[in-house]
Homo-oligomer: A and B are copies of this chain.
Amino acid sequence: MVPAKRKPPAVTRRQRASAHATPRNDDTILLEFSMSPLTQGASVGRYVSRSLEIIDQSNLPYRLNPMGTVIEGPWDAVLGVVKSCWERMKEDCDRVSTIVKIDYRKGKTGRLESKIASVEKTLGRKLKT
């Protein structure tokens, strides 16, 4: 997307600050969401499964846990997956409730694994994951 530049000019403080804001790594977020219909009774596994199908086919790295799914990627890609799940669910569910948590940390990727690894390293042992 960013064309290669020949002979880069000297970099001023101001330019460095704005380079700081370049889109490359900045855009990666860690997002957890859970989405449920309020209109289909206590068993909503069937609807959650359809969301997981959409997430799995997005090719974004993800992890399913008992209370939600964590996806890593650029804002638009990840939020696009959440929107697709919502559009599918509202096809036959008249009320849909969604919770989203987003953790952005400048210049960091691979956090699906590294955040847990960091806690385990601090404690010096494996935790239940």
- Residue positions of A touching B, CB distance < 8 A: 21, 26, 30, 32, 34, 36-42, 44-46, 48-49, 52-53, 56, 61-68, 70, 75, 79, 83, 86, 90-91, 94-106, 111-113, 115-116, 118-119, 122-123, 127-129
CB distance from A111 to the nearest CB of B (A): 6
**A100 to B102, Cβ gap below 8 A?**
yes
A70→B67 CA distance, assembly (Å): 7
Which residue in B66, B100, B101, B105 is a CB contact (below 8 Å) of A63? Answer: B66
User: Which label, helix, strand, loop or mixed, suits the secondary structure of the A interface?
Assistant: mixed
A53→B37 CA distance, assembly (Å): 26
Which residue in B26, B41, B101, B103 is a CB contact (below 8 Å) of A39? Answer: B41
